[in-house]
Amino acid sequence: MRERVSLALVHHPTLDRRGAVVATAVTTLDLHDFARLGRTYGLGPVYAATPLDGQRSLVARLLGHWVGGRGGELNPGRREALESLRVVGSLPEAARDLEMRWGEPPVLLGTSAREGPDRLGFRQARALLRDGGQPALLVFGTGWGLAPEAVAACRWVLEPVRGAGGYNHLSVRSAASIVVDRLLGPD
Amino acid sequence: MRERVSLALVHHPTLDRRGAVVATAVTTLDLHDFARLGRTYGLGPVYAATPLDGQRSLVARLLGHWVGGRGGELNPGRREALESLRVVGSLPEAARDLEMRWGEPPVLLGTSAREGPDRLGFRQARALLRDGGQPALLVFGTGWGLAPEAVAACRWVLEPVRGAGGYNHLSVRSAASIVVDRLLGPD
């Protein structure tokens, strides 16, 4: 079941600090962390979505080093993780790639640090992934989170990861790790 | 109870790729992620332990920017997280600082990506933190993990975070996020 769940790290359309819609810069450490997370939990491909050619070239160089090059020779575990990384121009392109791979479109499950109406609880989402049978794409936004247009593309949005109290400013690396463990970790 | 649990990110003694004991370089993103994680879960101070003066100066500069300076003005949430960050020369120094703060020494709970004898299960550790009453310091190693000397300083070592299958190469940022959520997240 897990191999029919994928991750997308979206760099556009995302929000900046002031709420404007922007394309964020790729943080290479995010790609490593997401790929290692996906591989550790036995997930499907990990997508990095950015419309910027220069940013896609950066990711391609990173993959050249870690998958085809010297980095992968020195650190085969890292290569094994990054082999699952795909760079795409947009979230819909990631969904289409998965549809081709799996023969049916994935359900898009968005994430947000903000409260909102109709958020899907972690228990429900866990049951959905386990029993639903339909492939799923978990969508994470960089910067200050997914822009409304990206949220609107999602069938559901997960409830925020709440720790204790009202402060809730996890990095996308931390949030994705916790979300994946809550949805797909051991019982 | 949560405020009597702290995090330590150890940069020495840690292992390198070949198993040699080294001092790793500080990755500033780790400090942000750990501080944000600690703040979100309402934990006590977050310690970055390194014996290298130059590395401690780096952390002090980072704190100057985010706590006392321009970064904190622009991003008060980040400042609020990084206010909990303390830089120390060693793991024992972190434990002593906590003892002074709490009036009793913390239990050191190590973490490792490797299996080993007498690992403490997540359920047991969760019960321990909730019911034990004793303050605790969760210890994470950078590089290829805590060196035996640092592991030996811990009262217990937690079982590894297992995802699916045998691959287990999470970043320390991901592993710490999952460990904190499993031990201190909502029921």
Note whether B167 contacts A77, CB cutoff 8 Å: yes
Task: Looking at the complex, report in whole angstroms how far the Cα of residue B145 sits from the nearest Cα belonging to chain A.
Answer: 15
Angstrom distance (rounded) from CA B81 to CA B100? 22
Residue-wise pLDDT for B85-141, tens only, equals 999 999 999 999 999 999 999 999 999 999 998 999 999 999 999 886 789 999 999
Task: Looking at the complex, report in whole angstroms how far the Cα of residue B110 sits from the nearest Cα belonging to chain A.
Answer: 19
* ipTM for the predicted complex: 0.96
Distances (CA, A) of A126 to B28, B80, B95: 33, 32, 38
Note whether A81 contacts B169, CB cutoff 8 Å: yes
Q: What is the mean pLDDT of chain B?
A: 95
What secondary structure does DSSP assign to A6-71, as a single string?
EEEEE-SSEE-TTS-EEPPPP-HHHHHHHHHHHHHTT-S-EEEE---HHHHHHHHHHHIIIIISHH
Residue-wise pLDDT for A97-134, tens only, equals 999 999 999 999 999 999 998 999 999 999 999 886 78
Quote the Cα angle for B139-B140-B145, to 5°. 130
Q: Is the pTM of this model over 0.95?
A: yes
Q: A152 in helix, strand or coil?
A: helix
Residue-wise pLDDT for B129-175, tens only, equals 988 678 999 999 999 999 999 999 999 999 999 988 889 899 999 99
Mean per-residue pLDDT, B179-184: 97
Of the candidates A77, A80, A163, the beta carbon closest to that of B40 is on A163
Phi, psi of B142 (to 5 degrees): -90, -170
